[in-house]
A and B are shown apart, each in its own frame.
Chain A
């Protein structure tokens, strides 16, 4: 680490869109194979086709090294039995299609874990989800925690469990996010 990496002892960092030609996706290890593999095999392609957006945490002076990342993707809930009153209240587009955003991946490189960076990325994802919702609509952020520790992490910030089988899915309503912004 060079001396101008620091501002009064603080590491200067940025959160930027994944640039496949810049960021070193192969070396990233967060301790979860699925999260590591997504970055290696899928993130660049998903970015290229605008299917999902990946944001990378990197230090200003070593911009190729990925310290952490997350992915947001559009997602849709469908409900054949959605009643008219609920659909009207939610103002969902079409009667049975409910737009949400999927926080598909979130991981911090092993060497940087335990320093509060996961919650920084979570907040950045929430901010971005809120602005996406304001621009094109999304009633909630959903995520599928990889294990109990991840589930406890999301629960602390208000993600509620929607179901645990066949996999764990959690949901944070956009209105709850809006209230967090209003109270800032």
Chain B
């Protein structure tokens, strides 16, 4: 986990026409996802994520690179729940046909 709480202090300035701005404000009110800038940020992140996912690519970043390689180079043993699941994956009441 990052040691510091997430601080939203990075800025992006975007220009819209008056009509675009009014339209986005209406949408933000309908979606009730906070104020205008929060709405724009939420939508932008959602779109960014779907673009990245459609490309099937993730980029390692400074805040999680170390954790990523720690997990791969020193993998934790399976949890008890995973071992139990491996031994008995089919829940009571079901008969899984292969």
Contacts and interface: CB of A to CB of B under 8 A. Distances in A.
Contact of A184 (B63, B72, B86, B96): B86
A119 B91 contact: yes
B91 A116 contact: yes
Contacts of B65: 79, 81
A136 interface: no
B94 interface: yes
| Range for the number of chain A residues in contact with chain B | 35 or more
Interface residues of B, number: 41
A160 B76 contact: yes
Interface string B11-33: 00000000000000000000000
Main secondary structure of the interface of B (DSSP, over half): mixed
A79 B65 CA distance: 8
A74 interface: yes
B97 A123 contact: no
Contact of A179 (B77, B85, B93): B77
A173 interface: yes
B45 interface: yes
B7 to A, nearest CB: 11
Nearest to A120: B89
Nearest to A42: B54
B93 to A, nearest CB: 6
22 contacts: A11-B94, A11-B95, A13-B96, A75-B57, A76-B57, A77-B57, A79-B59, A90-B72, A115-B91, A116-B91, A116-B92, A119-B85, A120-B94, A123-B85, A139-B72, A142-B58, A157-B85, A165-B6, A167-B45, A179-B75, A181-B86, A184-B87
9 shortest A-B CB distances, which residue pairs?
A: A116-B91, A175-B75, A173-B75, A180-B78, A123-B89, A79-B60, A10-B95, A158-B79, A163-B64
